[in-house]
Amino acid sequence: MLTALILICSTAITPDLAACDRANAVDVMRVPVEFGNPVTCFMHGEAYLAETTLGRDLADNERVKIVCVRSQTAAAIGTTVRQPTIP
Protein backbone atom coordinates (compact mmCIF):
# COMPACT_ATOMS: atom_id res chain seq x y z
CA MET A 1 0.00 0.00 0.00
CA LEU A 2 1.05 3.60 -0.65
CA THR A 3 0.79 6.80 1.35
CA ALA A 4 1.11 10.30 -0.12
CA LEU A 5 3.63 12.71 1.35
CA ILE A 6 3.02 16.32 0.38
CA LEU A 7 6.14 18.45 0.27
CA ILE A 8 5.87 22.25 0.20
CA CYS A 9 9.15 23.58 -1.17
CA SER A 10 10.49 27.10 -1.45
CA THR A 11 12.07 28.07 -4.76
CA ALA A 12 14.50 30.21 -2.75
CA ILE A 13 15.83 27.05 -1.04
CA THR A 14 15.39 24.50 -3.84
CA PRO A 15 14.92 26.19 -7.22
CA ASP A 16 14.81 22.75 -8.86
CA LEU A 17 11.64 21.00 -7.68
CA ALA A 18 13.21 17.63 -8.45
CA ALA A 19 15.76 18.33 -5.68
CA CYS A 20 13.02 18.94 -3.11
CA ASP A 21 12.83 16.26 -0.43
CA ARG A 22 11.73 15.86 3.21
CA ALA A 23 15.01 17.34 4.45
CA ASN A 24 14.72 20.68 2.61
CA ALA A 25 10.95 21.13 2.33
CA VAL A 26 9.34 24.04 4.17
CA ASP A 27 6.42 21.79 5.19
CA VAL A 28 5.73 18.06 4.95
CA MET A 29 2.26 16.53 5.32
CA ARG A 30 1.16 12.91 5.23
CA VAL A 31 -2.21 11.94 3.80
CA PRO A 32 -3.80 9.69 6.45
CA VAL A 33 -5.14 7.18 3.90
CA GLU A 34 -3.49 4.30 2.05
CA PHE A 35 -3.81 3.72 -1.69
CA GLY A 36 -3.41 0.70 -3.91
CA ASN A 37 -1.83 2.37 -6.92
CA PRO A 38 0.35 5.43 -7.62
CA VAL A 39 -2.19 7.32 -9.75
CA THR A 40 -4.82 7.22 -7.02
CA CYS A 41 -2.19 8.20 -4.47
CA PHE A 42 -1.14 11.30 -6.42
CA MET A 43 -4.70 12.38 -7.17
CA HIS A 44 -5.81 12.06 -3.55
CA GLY A 45 -2.65 13.81 -2.38
CA GLU A 46 -3.52 16.83 -4.53
CA ALA A 47 -7.14 16.81 -3.35
CA TYR A 48 -6.10 16.51 0.30
CA LEU A 49 -3.79 19.51 0.02
CA ALA A 50 -6.49 21.56 -1.71
CA GLU A 51 -8.80 21.04 1.28
CA THR A 52 -6.31 22.56 3.73
CA THR A 53 -5.56 26.21 4.46
CA LEU A 54 -1.91 25.44 3.81
CA GLY A 55 -2.80 24.40 0.26
CA ARG A 56 -4.93 27.47 -0.33
CA ASP A 57 -2.38 29.90 1.12
CA LEU A 58 0.76 28.92 -0.76
CA ALA A 59 3.24 31.76 -1.18
CA ASP A 60 4.34 32.83 -4.66
CA ASN A 61 7.73 31.19 -4.16
CA GLU A 62 6.35 27.86 -2.90
CA ARG A 63 5.81 24.75 -5.02
CA VAL A 64 4.14 21.44 -4.23
CA LYS A 65 5.66 18.02 -4.75
CA ILE A 66 3.69 14.86 -3.97
CA VAL A 67 5.65 11.69 -3.30
CA CYS A 68 3.95 8.34 -2.89
CA VAL A 69 5.87 6.00 -0.60
CA ARG A 70 5.23 2.60 0.90
CA SER A 71 2.95 2.95 3.91
CA GLN A 72 5.51 1.30 6.20
CA THR A 73 8.05 3.98 5.25
CA ALA A 74 5.53 6.77 5.91
CA ALA A 75 4.64 5.28 9.28
CA ALA A 76 8.31 5.22 10.25
CA ILE A 77 8.62 8.96 9.61
CA GLY A 78 5.18 9.78 10.97
CA THR A 79 6.51 11.80 13.88
CA THR A 80 8.33 14.22 11.55
CA VAL A 81 5.40 15.13 9.32
CA ARG A 82 2.55 17.48 9.98
CA GLN A 83 -1.11 16.51 10.10
CA PRO A 84 -2.98 19.72 9.25
CA THR A 85 -6.47 20.48 10.40
CA ILE A 86 -9.01 20.84 7.64
CA PRO A 87 -11.40 23.75 8.19
Please write the tens of the pLDDT for every residue from 32-57: 899 999 999 999 999 999 999 988 99
Residue 87 lies in a domain: no
Residue 85 lies in a domain: no
Judged against a pLDDT cut of 90, whether residue 83 lies above it is answered with: no
Judged against a pLDDT cut of 70, whether residue 74 lies above it is answered with: no
Residue 36 lies in a domain: yes
**Residue 36: Cβ-neighbour burial (10 angstroms; 0-12, 13-18, 19+):** exposed
Q: What is the pLDDT of residue 16?
A: 93
Instruction: Report CA-CA distances (Å) from 33 to 20, 30, 44, 74.
Output: 23, 9, 9, 11
Residue 86 lies in a domain: no
Radius of gyration over every alpha carbon of the chain, rounded to an integer in angstroms: 12
Judged against a pLDDT cut of 60, whether residue 87 lies above it is answered with: no
* Number of domains, the chain: 1
Structural domain harbouring 18:
2-80
What is the three-class DSSP state of 22? coil
Residue 47 lies in a domain: yes
